[in-house]
């Protein structure tokens, strides 16, 4: 009888340990490391729970500019706010990111007003689609008891992000919620990075440390730009297949890998948000070139590129590169030449042997 009691005790301890492990797994997240001294623009991948629309997503995440939401998803500017977004569809949401104590978190939003029937777990897992865990919401709002929240109170939602360079390059950090059964190699291939980089920046040393249904930091390669370090929008980061508005809405910049990973900026034709009108965007000493204009002379190409802005001025700069491609012998050509050299030598050697036999 005593042995049976001991067995039940051991079974109880094992079950308790498993429950504790599962609870801890749901309460701990892979933090996004961030030590950059400046703020930046980052992205989060929001998977809609129910049918909704773009305007509702903009309101939920407190996205100031609707155009920035369109740009993050490469949608036409004519897209209406009431554009329907079906359940389980992915929408990339731009956020402002800052670093604090080595960790990145969203700045200036989003905020959420507690509704009747809400709980922190529901807000984290369903309203914000697992981009954040409920203990993180509790910590960010100094809530000692997650079960005691007040309807009508406003919560700060600390979304994960980073502003750090990766391997010396500017990137757009993207919070991607890991799907069940996915692997690091699959995620790396999907987003054009590599497994080692993903593991390093997320502190993952084994495959089983990749937590399903939690966000992972994915660095998206950003287009190169000529933006000055003293510009109010430095660093201006845009990932492939996205566009951003800057200089109080006067400038639109597009990132396309096909454009040699170079940020292409031009006047947006928008009404500026903080100026009476957009300042001049002409490049000095360019004989009439304005922002986005290109001129060529032979193989030399000159572009009037965007270089940033301050409270009264939009900066431009002339960028020169080559529009011609030079063809160089490939390794295959060298190998083919080498093979012909071997053939000729072999033929000559055979002829020499034949001549020796006939003598």
pLDDT in tens, 280-303: 999 987 778 999 999 988 888 899
- Give the pTM: 0.80
pLDDT over threshold 50, residue 69: yes
Q: What is the mean pLDDT of the chain?
A: 84
What's residue 30's pLDDT?
A: 65
- What pLDDT score does 221 carry? 95
The pLDDT of residue 318 is above 60: yes
Helix (H) or strand (E) holding 266: strand 264-267
What gap in Å lies between CA 351 and CA 281, rounded to an integer? 74
For residues 128 and 44, what is the distance between their CA atoms, to the nearest angstrom? 10
Q: What does the pLDDT average to over 314-324?
A: 86
pLDDT at position 325 is 57
Q: Which long-range contacts (CB under 8 A, 24 or more apart) does 62-68 make?
A: 62/108, 62/109, 62/110, 62/111, 63/93, 63/94, 63/109, 65/245, 65/249, 67/245, 67/249, 67/270, 68/94, 68/244, 68/245
Per-residue confidence band for 194, with pLDDT thresholds at 50, 70 and 90: very high
Whose tokens are 């370090």? That residue is 229
Cα–Cα distance measured from residue 255 to residue 229, given in angstroms and rounded to the nearest whole number = 19
For residue 117, give Cα distances in angstroms to 51, 122, 147. Answer: 20, 9, 11
**Better pLDDT: 126 or 24:** 126
Q: CA–CA distance from 282 to each of 235, 253, 306, 320 (Å)?
A: 22, 16, 10, 16
Do residues 225 and 253 touch, judged by C-beta distance below 8 A?
yes
């Amino acid at each position: 009888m005593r042995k049976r009691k001991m067995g039940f005790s051991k079974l109880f301890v094992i079950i308790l340990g498993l429950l504790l492990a599962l609870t801890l797994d749901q309460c701990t997240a892979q933090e996004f490391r961030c030590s950059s001294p400046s703020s930046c623009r980052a992205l989060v991948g929001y998977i809609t729970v129910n049918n909704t629309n773009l305007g509702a997503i903009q309101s939920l995440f407190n996205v100031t500019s609707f155009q920035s939401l369109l740009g993050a998803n490469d949608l036409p500017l004519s897209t209406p706010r009431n554009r329907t977004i079906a359940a389980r569809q992915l929408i990339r949401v731009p956020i402002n990111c800052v670093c604090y104590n080595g960790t990145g978190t969203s700045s200036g939003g989003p905020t959420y007003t507690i509704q009747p029937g809400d709980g922190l777990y529901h807000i984290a897992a369903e309203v914000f689609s697992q981009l954040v865990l409920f203990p993180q919401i509790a910590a960010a709002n100094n809530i000692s008891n997650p079960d005691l929240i007040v309807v009508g109170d406003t919560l700060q939602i600390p979304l994960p992000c980073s502003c750090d360079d990766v391997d010396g390059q500017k990137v757009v950090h993207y919070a991607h919620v890991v799907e069940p059964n996915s692997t690091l190699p699959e995620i790396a291939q999907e987003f054009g990075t590599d497994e080692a980089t993903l593991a390093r920046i997320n502190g993952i040393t084994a495959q089983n440390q990749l937590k399903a249904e939690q966000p992972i930091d994915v660095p998206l390669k950003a287009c190169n730009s000529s933006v000055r370090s003293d510009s109010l929008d430095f660093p201006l980061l845009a990932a492939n297949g996205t566009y951003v508005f800057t200089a109080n809405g006067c400038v639109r910049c597009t990132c396309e890998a096909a454009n040699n990973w170079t940020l292409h900026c031009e006047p947006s034709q928008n009404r500026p948000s903080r100026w009476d009108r957009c300042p001049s965007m002409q490049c000095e000493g360019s004989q009439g070139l304005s922002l986005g204009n290109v001129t060529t002379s032979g193989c030399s190409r000159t572009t009037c590129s965007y270089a940033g802005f301050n409270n009264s001025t939009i900066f431009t700069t002339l960028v020169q590169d080559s529009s011609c491609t030079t063809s160089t012998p490939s390794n295959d050509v060298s190998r083919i030449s080498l093979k012909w050299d071997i053939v000729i030598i072999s033929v000559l050697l055979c002829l020499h042997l034949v001549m020796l036999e006939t003598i």
